[in-house]
Amino acid sequence: MMNLAQQLQEQAKKLLEEKKVDLVIGFGQGTELARNTPVFIDSPEGVSALTWGPFCANNLAKYLSDYNNAPGGTAVVVKGCDARSVNRLLDDNQILREKVVVIGVPCPGQLEWQKVSAEIKPGSTLKEVVDNGDSYTVKTDSGDYSFSKKDYLLHRCLVCENPNPVISDITIGKELPVKNYEERFAEVQDLEKLAVNEKSAYWDKQFTRCLRCYACRNVCSVCTCEVCVFDQMMPMWVSKRTNLSENTAFHITRAFHVAGRCVDCGECDRVCPMDIPLRKLNVKIHKDLGDLFNSPTPGTEPGLISPLGGFSPGDPEEFM
Amino acid sequence: MESRVVNKGQISELLDKLAKDYNLFAPVKDETMTLFRRVSGAQDVLLDYNNSDISPKGCFLPQNEKTFSYMYTGDSLEINKPEGAQKTVLFGARPCDIKAVLTFDPVFEGVKFGDEYYSSKRENSIIIGLSCTKVLSTCFCYAMGGGPCDITGSDLLLTEIGDKYYVEVITEKGQALVDAYSQIFAKQDTAQLAKDKDELAKKLSGEFVRKVDLTGVKELMDNNFELPYWSGDDQKKCISCGICTYVCPTCHCFDIFDYTTGDFTGDRIRCWDSCMYPEYTLEAGGHNPRPTRKERIRNRFMHKIKYHLDRYNMVGCVGCGRCVIKCPVNIDITKIINDLKEVAQNA
């Protein structure tokens, strides 16, 4: 039986050979054993670079809008969370359905590469990764290493809502059960319990560290503005100077701008070089959207109207 | 110059004294991060670390720096410059990051342009380096002419050996410091410690797993500005964030702007900028000479492996590995160097 990577390669090859797409965006081996990297394959001979495993953290749907104006179609490899991005991009008219082929892979969780890397002998070569349910065994030429999912998965994966892609033209692998999704608000609930000044102190501490590298914004699949307000010089809404006030203005504006559109892929949180727990801001907004508007996570189904992006004459206007 | 010994038990005393007599910058733990911060004493300092998440370059080139404040009152313009830098000690920096400071020197203290803000900090600073005790899988200082126990750029270099720090006095500034705190920097026979340090350096130099070789790469770049290589996956996957440049100990680009309160009073600020941002080269008329990620990526890596060499005869990378670790999409300078070397060989 073929492993998932081989199945992926075969499907990608077929799509390219039959000219259904000109490009396949997938994951390839990165420069660290426990790291994969986006690869862009434009010929059937190139598909051997495609891989799959628990080191595929990136949300590749982000790249789809780069190829809107390409003459041919684009295929993209997505996990469950990334598939929500595809729905969201379609709803925002950022991509054309007929130009995109979604290759969905049910995902049993992505590992934090640095934590894994720290345990493996430097310079080792990856042979195979085995999913044991509650843990992964990473087999290398320097021996086998075991990583419990509880301790080594990205936090977003521990409370995953959609291990199975919510939109998919070609699905590779078996459907997986949803686990621990009910615990998704635990962290936020802990924060909610704090007094206002304690919450403020918590976020002040986080935002003070911000370098304003804008990785959180740039990696975000629903950040699609052609010119971002933070890049405008005239007027300069937020100064280039970093300080708590400017940094807070950036983060709060960013969180609100994606409210109702954020698909909770957790990429902002993963890429932050200063470990600012950005996902907590978004999850709090998701919780409120659920509580106030009974709204599901954006992107979980196509055509969802965001509570903050829709208009209904029947809306109550309690605040007026 | 000479060498001395500090017992580990006395490091706290030393740090407390330095914090009293100088502005002391040292590595500290901030939640999950290791960062260089100004400290008030030994209690906050973390010396058991691999490499800080952000380099200590901010000691010499802060992310935000007021260059002067101004006030226009209708008939007069008043300019107030900040005072010169205070006496500072940068303690516990790794050899790669110290070597990186040397790459700043010709930029800010060059023949053509002197930068008083930088010079003032540099002149008033003493750098106490700390040899590495571990090599990470992302480290490649050896390939950039450095090493885990390299003395280059330090005024003093401390190397942890058992329950002692072996102290190499490298400059006159360093000499003055050990003489001023001679009760801590003990004069002892250091022959054995020197031998131990050499052995440590030798052991660590065998632990690098990244094979990086710059030979022939600059020569390829000299003659090939346009290479199909730059249109490859790296420019496709780059998300144009500023991580690589902000965590880089040798990146030193800055922007200057006025921060006004609406009237004619304000501050002129300079702050870090990043050549990875599309706005970086955007001209007033709307033209952008580096319009896509291809040109921007090429510029960043050419700066490291060619332009800095052309201008100052120094490689613009010290092999700290931070950009390799932090890049969200795994753009890796060591891979780029090796790929270019291959291109050069097949050309």
- Tens of pLDDT, residue by residue over A41-91, are 999 999 999 999 999 999 999 999 999 999 999 999 999 999 999 999 999
Indicate the residue among B165, B185, B205 that finishes a domain. Answer: B205
- Tens of pLDDT, residue by residue over B221-240, are 999 999 999 999 999 999 99
Q: Do A214 and B325 touch (CB under 8 A)?
A: no
- Check if A58 contacts B (Cβ < 8 Å): yes
Q: Is residue A103 within 8 Å of A11, Cβ to Cβ?
A: yes
Q: Answer with the residue of higher pLDDT: B168 or B215.
A: B168
The DSSP H or E segment spanning A100 is strand A100-104
What's the rounded mean pLDDT across residues A221-243?
89
Q: Is the pLDDT of residue A31 over 70?
A: yes
Q: With bands split at pLDDT 50, 70 and 90, how would you rate the model's confidence at B262?
A: confident
What's the rounded mean pLDDT across residues A232-247?
89
What's the rounded mean pLDDT across residues A28-36?
96
- Check if A185 contacts B (Cβ < 8 Å): no
Indicate the residue among B140, B172, B205 that finishes a domain. Answer: B205
Indicate the residue among B205, B226, B254 that finishes a domain. Answer: B205
> Which residues in chain B have Cβ-Cβ distances shorter than 8 Å to A37?
233, 237, 329-330
Q: Is the pLDDT of residue A319 over 80?
A: no
What's the rounded mean pLDDT across residues B296-310?
97
What's the rounded mean pLDDT across residues B68-75?
90
Q: Is the pLDDT of residue A1 over 60?
A: no
Any idea which of B55-64, B168-177, B252-261, B304-313 has the lowest mean pLDDT?
B252-261
Q: Percentage of chain A with pLDDT > 70?
A: 99
> Which residues in chain A have Cβ-Cβ distances shorter than 8 Å to B31?
205, 275
What is the residue range of B301's domain? 217-346
B138, B234, B239: best to mutate for the A interface, most A CBs within 10 A:
B239
Q: Is residue B266 part of a domain?
A: yes
Chain A, chain B: beta-carbon pairs less than 8 Å apart: 109
pLDDT, position B74: 85
Q: Is the pLDDT of residue A103 over 60?
A: yes
Using alpha carbons, select from A72, A67, A68, A77 the residue that is nearest to residue A36. Answer: A77
Q: Are B130 and B229 found together in one domain?
A: no
Q: Are B24 and B73 found together in one domain?
A: yes
pLDDT, position A315: 78
Q: With bands split at pLDDT 50, 70 and 90, how would you rate the model's confidence at A2?
A: low
Residue A118 and residue B261: Cα distance in Å, rounded? 48
Rounded mean pLDDT of chain A? 94
Neighbours of B74 (CB within 10 A): 6
Q: Do B255 and A240 touch (CB under 8 A)?
A: yes
Question: A52: distance to nearest CA of chain B, Å?
Answer: 16
Residue A237 and residue A258: Cα distance in Å, rounded? 18
What's the rounded mean pLDDT across residues B283-294?
94
What's the rounded mean pLDDT across residues B78-103?
96
Q: Are B137 and B187 found together in one domain?
A: yes
Q: Are B184 and B46 found together in one domain?
A: yes
Q: Which amino acid is at A90?
A: L
Q: Are B340 and B234 found together in one domain?
A: yes
Q: Are B111 and B259 found together in one domain?
A: no
Residue A202 and residue A150: Cα distance in Å, rounded? 25
Q: With bands split at pLDDT 50, 70 and 90, how would you rate the model's confidence at B113?
A: confident
Sorted by where each begins, the domain ranges of chain A are 4-171, 185-293
Q: Is the pLDDT of residue B252 over 70?
A: yes
Task: Label residue B205 exposed, middle or buried (CB < 10 Å: 0-12, 13-18, 19+).
Answer: middle
> Which residues in chain A have Cβ-Cβ distances shorter than 8 Å to B239?
62, 215, 218-219
Q: Are B148 and B226 found together in one domain?
A: no
Q: Are B283 and B254 found together in one domain?
A: yes
Task: Label residue A234 exposed, middle or buried (CB < 10 Å: 0-12, 13-18, 19+).
Answer: exposed
Q: Do B135 and A35 touch (CB under 8 A)?
A: no
- Check if A46 contacts B (Cβ < 8 Å): no
Which residue of A122, A215, A240 is in closest CB contact with B137? A122
> Which residues in chain A have Cβ-Cβ distances shorter than 8 Å to B285?
none
- Check if A231 contacts B (Cβ < 8 Å): yes
Q: Is residue B154 part of a domain?
A: yes
Q: Are B49 and B152 found together in one domain?
A: yes
> Which residues in chain A have Cβ-Cβ distances shorter than 8 Å to B259?
239, 241
Q: With bands split at pLDDT 50, 70 and 90, how would you rate the model's confidence at A320?
A: low
What's the rounded mean pLDDT across residues B166-170?
98
Question: A246: distance to nearest CA of chain B, Å?
Answer: 12
What's the total number of domains in chain B? 2
Q: Are B54 and B190 found together in one domain?
A: yes
What's the rounded mean pLDDT across residues B13-30?
97
What's the rounded mean pLDDT across residues A121-132?
94
Q: Are B191 and B307 found together in one domain?
A: no
Cα first-last separation, chain B: 47
Ranges of H-type helices in chain A: 4-17, 80-91, 113-117, 149-152, 155-158, 186-192, 196-209, 215-219, 244-257, 267-271, 278-293
Residue B115 and residue B119: Cα distance in Å, rounded? 6
Three-state DSSP class for residue B6: strand
Q: Are B83 and B187 found together in one domain?
A: yes
pLDDT, position B81: 94
> B interface toward A at CB cutoff 8 Å?
30-33, 35, 53-54, 63-64, 135-138, 207, 209, 233, 236-237, 239-243, 246-247, 255, 257, 259, 269, 271-274, 277-279, 324-326, 328-330, 332, 334-335
List, edge to edge, every strand of the sheet that includes B254-260.
Answer: B77-80, B64-72, B265-272, B254-260
